[in-house]
A and B are shown apart, each in its own frame.
Chain A
Amino acid sequence: AQTVTQSQPEMSVQEAETVTLSCTYDTSESDYYLFWYKQPPSRQMILVIRQEAYKQQNATENRFSVNFQKAAKSFSLKISDSQLGDAAMYFCAYRRMTGTYKYIFGTGTRLKVLA
């Protein structure tokens, strides 16, 4: 069975600084998707970034980028130039390319941004 682990329950970053959130996963599949979702206090799930496992290039979305290490089964999220609005829970998620396409989420990392 696939699992997703986020070992940092909470992280803090100074405004304008860079922070990296960690995520590891376990799967026997060779093709899959990985995602980072942001959940602000409203609890809406907002897609931050997604990575296809077959792509070697790391995904980037503006200030957000990932470091995808397939062999190590690691998928970290880097937030550059952190802003107060980045404060939220961040969930890493895994999805197979076959089956029902359900998501498997990690336990989340709460990010605090300090002014």
Chain B
Amino acid sequence: EPEVTQTPSHQVTQMGQEVILRCVPISNHLYFYWYRQILGQKVEFLVSFYNNEISEKSEIFDDQFSVERPDGSNFTLKIRSTKLEDSAMYFCASLAVPTDTQYFGPGTRLTVL
């Protein structure tokens, strides 16, 4: 069964550093998402991406965040200057068609020191 993959599984970085989280969505999917889950809290929507552009972003997704689909297969989330409060689990998800269900990747645990 096709699946969404994410790398790395765990990233440790220093405050102020840039990080790039990578996702490979399922190949025929058209809609892409990033969600964030701070430890012990609920999963929160960050951004959705469709047709090579952001279709919606949440209040969390400020100027420090950006997304890109550089080569038609990868979908990346960049945090330009990480803060302590960016420490969380980041999930990528993709969706084939609107009537389908989103498929989630296994997540990347980001730790900012």
Contacts and interface: CB of A to CB of B under 8 A. Distances in A.
Interface of A: 33, 35, 37, 42-45, 47, 50, 91, 93, 95, 97, 99-108
A45 B95 contact: no
B104 A45 contact: yes
A102 B33 contact: yes
A93 B37 CA distance: 14
Interface in B30-53: 31, 33, 35, 37, 41-45, 48, 50
Given A43-B109, A45-B91, A101-B95, 12 more contacts: A43-B37, A44-B104, A50-B101, A91-B43, A95-B102, A100-B48, A100-B50, A101-B102, A102-B33, A103-B35, A103-B43, A105-B43
Contacts of A43: 37, 89, 106-107, 109
Interface bin, chain B: 20 to 34
B101 A47 contact: yes
A35 B48 contact: no
B98 interface: yes
Given A35-B101, A42-B106, A45-B91, A102 B41 contact: no
A105 B42 contact: yes
20 contacts: A37-B104, A43-B89, A43-B106, A44-B106, A45-B43, A45-B104, A45-B107, A47-B101, A95-B102, A100-B55, A102-B45, A102-B56, A103-B43, A103-B45, A103-B102, A104-B45, A105-B42, A106-B42, A107-B41, A108-B42
Interface in B63-113: 89, 91, 93, 95, 98, 101-102, 104, 106-107, 109
A99 B45 contact: no
A33 B93 CA distance: 16
A95 B33 CA distance: 13
A91 B37 CA distance: 12
